[in-house]
Every structure is written in structure tokens, then in C-alpha cells.
A and B are shown apart, each in its own frame.
Chain A
Amino acid sequence: MSLSNIGIPREGRFFLFDPEFHSTKQLYLKDTPGYKILLDWFASKNQHPFPFQETAWQHFLNGKSGLLNAPTGCGKTFALFLPILIDWINQHPDWKDRKKNGLQMLWITPLRALARDIQKAMQEVCSEIGLPWEIGLRSGDTSSAERQRQKKQMPEILITTPESLHILLAQKGHPAVLKSLQAVVVDEWHDLLGSKRGVLVELALSRLKNIANRAATKQELGSTLRVWGISATIGNLEEAQQVLLGNDHEKGVFVKTDMQKRTIVESILPDEIERFPWAGHLGIKLLDKVFPIIEKSRTTLIFTNTRSQSEIWYHTLLDAHPDLAGLLALHHSSIDRELRDWVENALSEGLLKAVVTTASLDLGVDFRPVDTVIQIGSPKGVARFLQRAGRSGHAPHDVSKIYFLPTHSLELAEAAALKQAIENQTVEQRQPYVMCFDVLVQYLCTLAVGEGFRPDEILEEVLSTHCFQYMTVDEWEWVLAFISTGGSLNAYEEFQKVEKGADGTWRIASKRTAMRHRLHIGTIVSDAVMKVKYLKGGFIGTVEERFISKMKAGDVFSLAGRTLEFVQIKEMTVYVRRSKVKNAKVPSWLGGRIPLSSNLGETLRNVIQQAAQGDSDSIEIQALAPLFNLQSERSAIPSEGETLMEYIHTKDGHHLFVYPFEGRLVHEVMGALLAYRLSLKMPITFSIAMNDYGFELLSDQPIPLEEANLAALFTTENLFDDIQRSINSVEMARRKFRDIAVIAGLVFQGYPGKYKQDKHLQSSSSLIFDVFAEYDPDNLLLRQAYQEVFDFQLEEVRLRAALERISTGKILFHHPGKFTPFAFPIKVDSMRENLSSEKLAERVKRMQVQAG
């Protein structure tokens, strides 16, 4: 079980006792002039620092690095921004007059939108205490004139994103502007940690630390770089700190706020569960119950799981309640930045009654007027649910209130599981990425387009990160060969990328290659999108190319809550005009399917078992009673130690349903594994569908099952080999390779309106995957794709445990005459994998006969 406590981490586990905290060798915070000045500043606002802030300040003055665990809205920015001012004032009696001091602190944030608010707050403090510091911004939106100015004179504090920091590292002379740096703060580290953007941060930190160490002439305390992270509560805070600090983590400290937030969860129940749909993802049926909540609250945030769902909810709410016009807004990541800024401002100023949104408002500044949150559909994880709940009731001791609105019946069971998980204080872990050779390839090219790099020096830095701490010499040499000759075995004669200079420095000489690289720095891989613009001017947002390619002039679609008529595509821009037509198409942006976390999966299984035994006091489960009765009638509800399988024959084919309740990711692998094992018995083709409760194998032929020996299908014998073969035969690794190919610079994503692609360099990651698989099977990037399937998808430990549980337990095998409430949501799912043991040509011929 991988559950961990939300509460204060236990002493001695990773709460490092710091003997120097108040030792005589150190400055005692409260005796310093800097502290007194800041204390006066607090007093002028009728406030006083929180104890956790003072703790962080003292650690900072002591030269420590560490992690601060604090939710938004409790003063975390001041906990780590103010001590650099205190330190500066302490060390420079003439602080009021010293200008142009060079870069002192880097503040890394995952969201550009956050940067401006933080800048404003910081600049305000400086001017109010009379410190002539400049607080600068550097993100994708920063003008090149501003960048040039920064190159000549860096502000004292620079707020930036991981990607923009890497673009800075791609500049010639970056060590000179970075050598005065005293501290780096990584905001929202929990968010960056579980993605490859976290790896970008790790690599950049390894570079910054080395530059700072080299610049330090005296080995006094405080002369080496201080690194701090700020993280919301996750299940693996200790690991989060290790990843951030790399091989320095043993000296790191941990600071936690003393504020506990209370969250109240309420499910919105349908009046008649019998008439509530068994499958679906919109939840519109419960629309009538949403309006009264909006009405009685000051401001409500309505979270949906996808952008298209938010568009639909926005329109439907407005249609049903026209009086909301002007008081209801829409916010998601495909809406133009300026429109989103407007919504955010209106939210802060309390001008809006409600905003329909997606993950785009998960993070970010506080909107004080928000007192209520509605989550539509399962949030799929406890951490995400709590994060969203926390967007309401922002003041330190306020209560967060969140409503859960189910989109189909069984989601009510998830609501019960969420409540239980919150009560038991179990929050998911964020798994850090390791051995990301795609990011390493990109990083080395980043260094090579700017200053150039010396492999020995950079190797040492890279090995100091958590991500690459176990990298072997062979792997490092493979990466160097990959970027310089095309590969250790191949050494292609005309290959051109990074060149080894006579001075031992590796550089990218070609201007074209360098430009292409600069445009592709980063690890966020998106689908090709196009900007949407009114004929008369004014951007609205972006849609995916694949959506717009299906449209004809005159077709009508919805974006940013507006109904738009498609006119034409010109210069990679979609031109539209307003339309009054009803029933507009809603673009479906890809991505957006989130798997149930393992924590929630386990809690959900318990909830279902309690339901089976009829001893649940949860109101959600009681409301679901009619549905559970029908499930028992047609088939069964598994209780503890049991796993349910259902076999149904329809005109679609032969369906086998299995319900392990382990979450979508595990079901995807388990489905492929079972399909593979069954396909050994005869040539057969399966299509595999899954959701968080179970999976379905569908075949046009009868599925060769031995009813007496079903447990054998779940055996852990030969598990590793069988999984490897089943992964090979489906598309999981190929899909992981898509991002890897983009990050490593093998496939270029277009940028709307920004950059014309080199037409002759277009290819799909899938094509390159095939070519590598056939001719270069030891390619590390290809291996990484399989490794990512193993690390992130399979969660081998969890899969093995699940298989053991199923194979040693009791299997209930039923032949229901109709689809059951459990089966239905899986059956209607359209995202499917295929696995086949038939000869391709045979299969095509048979499909042809079926098609008639």
C-alpha cells in the first residue's frame, strides 16, 4: 500500500534536525537589521509573519536549501522571497543606494500567467521598503528587446519558466550573467515533478550550482547556491525534496506550514438513480441542480475534465439561464491568452458569478471571491480533487467547499471513495521521471547552440541530478555519439548536429540547426494546432488541425463559448465570423483522459465491496442501491477476495469483461496480457477497451476460455516475458515514443503562425519508431519508450499484486443475457487497442468478408 499521511511528516524520517539552526556560528534572524526592516513593513500592513515563514527565513540565512510544503494562499511566496532581501540588507549597509547588482534570485514557476502576479507583489515590497531592485520577467511572452536588455543588465530577481530558463542556457555567455546568483526557488514543484519539465529543472539546477560554485571565491557560508522548492501536499514529499536537490539532498531541510485546511465534500445526487445514465461523461442531466448552487454562492468555479466538456457546459448553462449572461465565463488552455486574462481579472474583482474551466485554473493565484467549487465528473485522483477544492475559501483558516457532480451512475461510487480517501488523508505520489535520454539529448544541444560544452564538466553535473544518477558511461557515450555522429555504431558520414571543436568544446555550428533547436526547447508536446481569428481581427484561441481539417466553409463550431462560422484557412490561421446557429460542433482536443490513481482505485474497490455486503453508510452507495441490485440480478457484485468476469455474445462479437478495479493504466496492460495469452491458443484478433473499473476483450470469433481454469490466465509465471511480448504487439511504446521523438528533436512540431516547417524534414514519430525498431533496436530513445511503459503505465508492483490477488482468489464467471451496469461504460468506450495473433493478410481477408 502506498498511502502516506497528509499531516506533518514524522521527525527523523526526513525532518532533518539542523544543529546549526540557532547556533552561535549563525546569524540569529531576529537580531539582524534586515529582519527588523521587514518586520516594520509587516507592521505597516497590520500583520506579522507566520512562524513557518520565520523558520524558512532562518534556514535561508543559514545558507540552507530545502523544501517548503505549503498550499497556495498562505504566504508561501513571502516565505522564500523575503529572506533574500533580509540577507542582502544584512550584508550591505548601503543597500538603499546600491543599484544594478546583478542577478540574485531566480524564481521558477510552471505557469506564465502566475509570473506577472508574483512580479507585481515582489516589486511592491521592494519599493515600499525603499530597495532599488528590479524584478524581471522572462517567459515565452517576453519581447526580444526586453531579453536583450536583460542580457546587458539582469534584474536582481528574475521570474521565469523551466523552458525560458533553458533558452537562457542556450545563450552565449550565460555563465557570466548567472554567476552572481544566490538562490533559486522552484514554485509549484509538485506540479513540475511528475513531468519531464521537472527533468528540465533538475538539469538547469545542476548547471546553475556549478556556475555558482565556480564563482564563489571564498568558501564562506552563503556563497554557494541555495535551492528551494515549494510543494503542495503529495504522498512523496521526501522524494520530491531528493529530486529537487539532487546529490545535495542530505543537507536539505524541510519546512511545513502549520495551517491545516478543512475540505467539505458534497455529492450532487440524481433524483432517480434508475433513470440516470450508465455511461457518459457530460453530466448535463444534473444541470438543474447546479444553478441553485451558483445562486447561493458568491463565486463558483465549475471544473470539467476536458476542454470540450467545458464548452458544452458553458453553452448549456447560458441557454438554461440567460440571466447569467455577462456573469458566467469560460476559461481553458485553448482560449487566447488575452481573453483568459480578462476572465482572471474579472474573477479577482468579483465581477463573475461563475466560471466554467478545466485544469487551466488548477494552479495559480488566488481568486478571493471564489467560495464554491463544483467538480463535474470524476477527478480521478485525491490530490487533484483537493487542489481544486482548495481554489475556494482561500484565506488561511477558511473552509474549502466542493460539490461532486457525477456524469454516470458508477461515478457516485468514486465520490464515496474520494470522501473516504480524504477522511483517511491519503494523497497520491508524484512519480519523478528517471533516465530521460530525450531530455538529455535536448539539453546537450541547448548548451551546444550557446556557450558550447565540455563533456567531462557536464557529465559531472548531469550525474549529480536525481534523474541521471545511475546513468552508465556507455549510456553517456551513446548520447554523445547520437548528437555528434548519429549513433555509436552508425557514424553517418554526412551527419550534422553537434561538432567537437579543436578546443575540446562541443558546439552546434549550423545556424539553421541552431535556430530550429531554439524553437523547440521544452518538453510539452502538443498536437498540431491552428490559431482561430475573426475576419475583422482579434484572436479567439486555438483548435487542433485534425478537427478543422474536417470542416467546410459555412460549418459552425464553438470555441471560447462563442459560436463561430468557419470561413477559410489562410497562412496557418483559421478565419471565422460570428454565427447565430444552434448546435455548433464542439472541437475535441486530444489528451484529457486521466487514469484513476492507484490510491483511489483501491479505495473504490473497498467501497464496492462494502456495497456488495450491504453495510455501507455512504449516501452515495445507498443512492446506488437500485443499480447494484440490477448488477446482482444480471450477474454479481464481487466481494472481498472475488473477481468478476462476464462473457456476452452479441452481434458485435464475443465480449469478455473483467473487473479488477485497478485503474485504467493497469487495465490496459492486463487487458493486453490476457489477450496475448489467449491468442497463443489460436490465431485470433482482439480489440481491447478499458476504464477505471475493468476491461473488455472483444473478438469476432469465440474466445477460447477454459472455464475450469480461468485463474491460469492471471498467473504471474512468465509475467515479464509475456508483458514484453504483449506490449510489443500493441501500441503503448509507440505512443510513448511520440513525445520522446519530439523532445529529442527527431520530429518537429509546428508553431501556429510562428514558424514555417522545413517541408522536407517532416515525418511522423511512428515512422521513425518503425525504422529504429527495425534497424537500430538498441537505440536508447527506443528503449526509453519501453521503459516509460514499464515505469508509468504498468506499475509492475501493482500489476503483480493485482494478478496474484485475482489468481489466488475466487473468480466469478457469469453469462449475463444483457450488458450489466458494470459492463456498459466499458463497452461504449471508443478508444481501443488491438492485439492479434493472425497473419495480417488472413486477417484483412476475413475482415473483408465480414464487411460484406
Chain B
Amino acid sequence: MNRYFGNRLAVFVFAFPALLLFTAFVIYPLFPEMMISLQNHDGFKSEGFVGLANYMDVLNSQTFWQANKNTLLVVALSIFVGLPISLMLALLMDAQTPSIRRFFKAAAVFPAVLSVTVVAQMWIAFYEPTWGLFNEILRTVGLGHLAKQWLTDKDTALISVAVALFWQYIGLNALLFYTGIKSIPKTYYEAALIDGAGYVKASIKITIPLLQDVVKYVLIISTLGSMALYAHVRIMTMGGPGDASRTIVYQMYYTAFERSEFGKGTATAMLFIIECLIISFLINRFVAREKIEI
């Protein structure tokens, strides 16, 4: 049996293909990225090393900080608004009759399997100023003065895009929470009922603490998802008006592929990696009771 599981050649055959691809396309690119970020590079050829000048340029540019502010705002909204709503939806689902629950479960994942192009296009139609759904509703209920150019107003552009993103994934997150709730043993609730706790109290005292693992998981995927917000912005607003809805990843794409400043683009990417690591660390440190297996 030892010869069987300890077969050196077999280990190589089984592990090599995956490790080769993973190393070549996931880990290795970080090194050229680091190298390019130290050069003046236009995507075709390098104009020589410039040290940390790209980083200085990026850190001194107002656009970068605006993009950062925008991204962090979306992340904060997803943590403090999006997640509580999904959790509430999951609790609501749990309390409803099976038929409504079945309908909601079936519908909830649908936006997440749709292409981002379709979802973004639908929200463009919702936000359209002259015939879009939102302004139409506002006019119908007599609040016409609140009608806006949602996607081209600098105060609402970013929020409008974020709403589209949240809508797409909120049902999925609710479903993840719901599965977590289902895995909590019924006896806990029976005990609480005997002690005279109501549904709301039982939710706060039993469900939410026991959901920690799922909360952690949803928190990580939705935080990293909001950090990397790009496609919705690209399709709905192109980062505009001005820099109002520019995100870090959008700024990275824009610098590299539209302005051909690959040096600055990769410098932005490196700074973005650092931010992602810091945020993952913070979540691990303050949210998870035990360390997340990364």
C-alpha cells in the first residue's frame, strides 16, 4: 500500500499539469507586473527603468484617490447595507410558507446567472432620464421634481451603479444565508421557545451568532467582488461623469489599455493587490473567530 500511495512518478503525473498552469498564469504574472510597474512601458516596449516614479505619479494623482474613495464607498455599502439586507431576506424566507419560499429561492439566483451585459443594460433602461422606469414612477406619484439623470449626475452615478451590482447578487447572498440558517439544529429554537423567546429574539440570540461561518464567507466574496467592480461601471457609466463613478480596477484598465501607460497601470494594480490583502487581513482579524483557511 505504501508503494501505491507513495509512488513518486504518480505524484508527479497527478500534480504537475495543474501546478504548471496555476504557476504560469496565476502566480508568475505577479513578477512581470512588479517589473513593469518600475518601468516606463507602453505595452510594446520599455523606455527603461524609472524606479518608483510610476508609484509616485499614481499616488499623487487625484483620480487615483477619487477611484479609491469610490471603490471603498461601494465596499462599505455592500458590507453595511447589502449584507444586512440579504441576511434579513434570509430570515424572512425562513419564516414564510413553503410555497413563497420556493418561489423566492428559484427567483433569487436568476440575476446572478444572467450576463452582466444584460443586467447593466436593464438598469440603463431603468435609469434613463426621459422614459426610464424610475423617473416615470416618480412622475406618476407626483414627485416629478425628484426625477434625475441618474447615471450622468455626479451625485448619483456611483450609487446607481452600486445598486445594480447589489441587486444582481443580493438574492444569491440571501440564499447562502438561508442555507446556513437551515443547518442550525431545530432543538436550539425549541429550547428558546420554552424559555419564552419570540422569533425576533431567537434570531438575534441564536441564528446570527451561529451563522458566523457563512457571514464570513459571504462577507469575503462580496467585499472582494465590490473591490473589483469593473464591468458594471464600464457598461453603465464609463467611470463618468468626470471621475464620479471611477473604480480602482476601472482606473487600472483605463490607464493601461486606453492610455497605453502600462507602467502606471501595473503600479495601480500593485497598489490594488496591497489593498485587497489589507482588507482580507482586516476581515480575518476582526470578523472571523478562527482564522480563515486561505
The answer to whether A and B belong to the same complex is no
Interface residues of A (CB under 8 A from B): none
